[in-house]
Structure 1
Amino acid sequence: MTTLIRGGTVIDSDRTHRADVLIADPQDGGTILQIDRTIEPPDGAKLVDAHDQYVMPGGIDPHTHMELPFMGTTASDDFYTGTAAGLSGGTTSIIDFVIPSPKQPLMDAFKEWRGWAEKASSDYGFHVAVTWWDDSVYRDMGTLVHEHGVSSFKHFMAYKNAIMADDEVLVNSFSRSLELGALPTVHAENGELVFQLQKQLLAKGFKGPEAHPLSRPPQVEGEAANRAIRIAQVLGVPVYIVHVSAREAVEAISRARNEGQRVFGEVLPGHLVIDESVYRDPDWTRAAAHVMSPPFRTSEHREALWRGLQSGQLHTTATDHCVFCASQKAMGREDFTKIPNGCGGVEDRMSVLWHEGVNRGRITPNEFVRITSTNAAQIFNLYPRKGAVQVGADADLVVWDPAATKTISVKTHHQKVDFNIFEGMTVQGVAMHTFTRGAHAWADGELRAQRGAGQYLKRPPNAAYYDAVRVANKLKEPHPVER
């Protein structure tokens, strides 16, 4: 049946207005059919009251790791539980990461992840990591772009002796991305420095979680971000820096953008609100639960991230959702380098950002929509199917109550993990209803997510970015010398 959301205020990235929204039944496409000041309910339509509430595009989390095999174990949230948790918090699409093992063909890894993701309850796409290089990787990148709608590739500059991409891999993969019109994304940490610092700390007897941030100081992130950006500049390719956590990385992005380079930055809500003191918690289990890379940092870095969002130098918010239970984190009890890296957040991202951003005057509601949905849709070429409240778009919508509150707790969350990094935080601004392609997946506290209802999102190359890049590169070519 059709659904009529009545009496709400529509907040889009560029407009706020009072309107009813009529959405189609999922069986009939699940798109937005009509937006008007007043809409007469069609016969048999379901009515959702949105008076004193906002109607916004569903959140897009462009950085998740559902059921990721990593560091000797597998993330505890799978594609069903993770996407269902996201729906309860207003997130209606994710872009996850296919991460091939060293020497594993990209297409083999992609097929594995596609199989795991068939259980997803919301729509999903993929970035594919380039963890090694030969002619087969070159060919598989083309197949992924042209046949499977993968238009972004991931590069880990950290995790030496595992999935780290050295400069040779970066240059080859960035160059191939330019040929294909795909967007390179980068985890920016100097993997060699991290590796050496880890060895030094272990040799000095530092084995607990408190050593984790010491092995990954802000400078290792700043150096790697700047290096990736300058490699991209030389090759003439756009680049997207994931989970920016340090002032030095923000400055590298801002500097490049001020020079006219097309660089995008992503930030996590945890890095905006959590202090590095969590690693010194006397309870080892609580401290280890916060181990992720890059680590949480001091207030100077958190303020730099907020300024980056406010100034438009940072563009998206994600979660890097990759959760491990206490028994899994305990694998590193005697060696902090063996604690599986990852934290949660797919369920809480929207509320934390609204509470700390909108309620504290740091960002406007329209800017909130941009950084939680629209920008990701545009950067990763899902717009306007996703990221907008407009006729013809997918009815991925959240009805948001700015006055409602909740206290985040592991006792009530839907994520399949026994810890929540936002435990005890009371937030004002909550998803009351969530629709995914017209299906009512979250209804005032009731989770109705359907296993396998999610669809795979093909993302063609973003021609607008690459047309501009190719023109700029052509203009930079040297003129022939007349003789």
Structure 2
Amino acid sequence: MSLLIKGARVVTAADDYLADVYVADDRVTTIGATLDLPADHIVDAAGCYLLPGGVDPHTHLGFNMGLTTTSDDYASGTTAAAFGGTTTVVNFAQQKRGQHLRAAVDDGLASAEGKAVIDYAQHIVITELAAESLGQIDELVDEGVTSIKMFMAYPGELMVDDATLFQVLERAGQVGALCCIHAENGPVIDVLVRRALAQGRTNPSWHGRTRPELAEAEATHRAIALAEMAESPVYFVHLSCAEALAEVTAARDRNRPVFAETCPHYLFLDSSVYDDESFDTAKYVLTPPLRDARHHAHLWRGLRTDDLQVVSTDHCPFCLNGQKTIGADDFSKIPNGGPGVEHRLQLLYSGGVVAGRLSLRRMVDVFATTPARLFGLFPRKGTIAVGSDADFVVFDPNGTTTISAETHHMNVDYSLYEGWRLTGAVRTVISGGRVIVDNGVFTGKPGAGCYIARDASGQV
């Protein structure tokens, strides 16, 4: 199948120019000022940006959390991602206690089979380290699973100790894998949570009040030190506050291979939501919690100066009714996480580019290019170039997007941005040379997305 995109303003992390783009099968074959080539399908992109399809390196589709599982599986979650211009996700395969790492990845792949509408890859979540597990890391890297997540929070559930962190960091650095760290001091947070509950403070507002910025900053500092001793790169997921960013910035100023992402909810929402004592606040029970609005300026600066390299979504949705209500009488039992995979691009464009906080090319960089580079997908993903996958977003800068739970495609009963009206709209999304979203209509197919085995991670 061939595809010709006419009259687009092509914007990548490196370039901004007017051109036509021609696709044969699933790859870009020709880029030129004016192309007159026969095509099975022609997309008129005049007046629009043509952007690389987004790469979201942090999604939780079909992820088990305590007594429940995220409300989006690969079918609904990747469909929602497509409506937001994301054409590749890197999802988490979680090791159960005592489970071989290969088996955990196989479970993750099985959950995607026949469902994903866009391409996908896998991280492995390590929850314990048996004597033979280090060798299992080597096996996974050889098979294209080149990133590992570890938690410094949730003792007794997901948290690993410092010895495990160090050993996995060391082995990962040796074999070309990147460790992704959830950095919060879990044991101290547990003390604060138990203290609050003992005082009868059970409503969701106490989630944010028991997870202070310093708990994130301390864990970030400690993980950087362990990575430096291990001579390994390290990547921090969902960085939320100025104090943690200062630790990352200081390490990067020493030329350490330290990387970090933030998420739209940390750029646009703030801890004033926890002033509401009602259960509705459970919508904002995610980790780390939302921070004071003063942090926004620091995070935007970090994105501009490359101290933060990626904006992911940490899409981890649980319905307010029936899932979040598990913790109706105890905030510590509320499943942690929120939805966001559908609106990352629109929020970044409206609140970043239009608001003057990011350049257009930098937006593309943090939305698509650098996540592709860091996680072993570039140049197949994250750019528009001859030989790259034909994953594109035709984005209308003059359109508008209104966010609402009534109209979004995520399988969750609320939005973190209910009623927000944004500048810019996704018009057409193309994955592997196929139009999968066209003017608000889904034209894709469950199971059409492919698993991507990745190259070495942690290299830019």
With the length of structure 1 as denominator, give the TM-score of the two structures. Answer: 0.93
Work out which of the residue numbers 15, 30, 36 in structure 2 matches 1:34: 30
- Contact 1:99 1:130 survives alignment (8 Å): yes
SS in 1 for 2:132: helix
AA aligned to 1:39 is L
Conservation of the 8 A alpha-carbon contact between 1:57 and 1:369: yes
Q: 1:77 aligns with which of 47, 53, 72?
A: 72
What is the TM-score when the length of structure 2 is the normalising length?
0.98
1:68 corresponds to 2:97: no
One-letter amino acid matched to 1:314: L
Query: Structure 2 matches for 1:217-236, cutoff 5 A?
Result: 217-236=212-231
The equivalent residue for 1:20 is: 20
Equivalent AA in structure 2 for residue 151 of structure 1: T
Instruction: Give, as a single letter, the amino acid of the residue that structure 2 aligns with 1:49.
Output: D
1:301 alignment partner AA: H
From 201, 204, 222, the counterpart of 2:199: 204
Per-residue deviation, residues 47-96 of structure 1 (Å, max 9, x unmatched)? 11111100010000000000111121011100011001010110000001
Aligned partners of 2:132, 2:148: CA distance in 1, in Å? 15
User: Contact (CA 8 Å) 1:396, 1:436: kept in 2 or not?
Assistant: yes
Contact 1:87 1:449 in 2 (8 A): no
- Whole-angstrom CA distance in 1 between matches of 2:105 and 2:373: 23
Partner of 1:358: 353
Q: Which of these residues, 168, 171, 187, is aligned with residue 166 of structure 2?
A: 171
Distance 2:362 2:424 in 1: 15
- Residues 39 and 89 of structure 1: is their aligned pair in 2 closer, same or farther, counting only changes over 3 Å? same
The answer to whether structure 1 residue 111 and structure 2 residue 106 are counterparts is yes
Query: 1:145–1:180: 8 Å Cα contact kept in structure 2?
Result: yes
Q: Which amino acid aligns with 1:186?
A: I
Checking the alignment, whether the CA contact within 8 Å between 2:77 and 2:410 is kept in structure 1 is: yes
- The letter of the residue matching 1:68 is F
Structure 2 residue corresponding to 1:267, chosen from 254, 258, 262: 262
Equivalent position amino acid for 2:40 in 1: A
Instruction: Tell me if structure 2 keeps the 8 A contact 1:209–1:280.
Output: no
Q: Secondary structure in 2 aligned to 1:7?
A: strand
Q: Which amino acid aligns with 2:379?
A: P
Tell me the alpha carbon deviations over residues 293-333 of structure 1, each in whole angstroms, 9 at most, x when there is no partner.
00111111122111110111000010110111121000000
- Match status 1:127 vs 2:142: no
What's the counterpart of residue 143 of structure 1?
Answer: 139
Give matches, 1:333-412, under 5 Å.
333-412=328-407
Aligned to 1:328: 323
State the partner residue of 2:313.
319
Tell me: CA distance 1:428–1:464, structure 2 relative to 1, closer, same or farther (3 Å).
closer
Three-state SS of the structure 1 residue aligned to 2:323 is helix
1:307 equivalent in structure 2: 301
Question: CA RMSD of the aligned region, Å?
Answer: 1.1
Q: Distance in 2 between matches of 1:58 and 1:189?
A: 31
Counterpart of 1:80 in 2: which secondary structure?
A: helix
Q: 2: distance between equivalents of 1:288 and 1:464?
A: 37
Provide the residue aligned with 2:429 in structure 1: 434
- The equivalent residue for 2:272 is 277
The Cα shift of 1:139 comes to 2.0
Query: Does structure 2 retain, via aligned residues, the 8 Å contact 1:102–1:163?
Result: no
- Structure 1 gaps of 5+ residues are 466-483
Q: Once superposed, which parts of structure 1, at least 4 consecutive aligned residues long, lie more than 4 Å away?
A: 462-465
Structure 1 residues 311 and 339 mapped into 2: Cα distance closer, same or farther (>3 Å)? same
Output the CA distance in 2 between the equivalents of 1:198 and 1:253: 27
State the Cα distance separating 1:165 from its structure 2 match: 1.0
2:332 aligned counterpart, secondary structure: helix
Find the aligned partners of 1:187 and 1:300 in 2 and give their Cα distance.
22
Query: Is this contact kept in 1: 2:55–2:89, CA < 8 A?
Result: yes
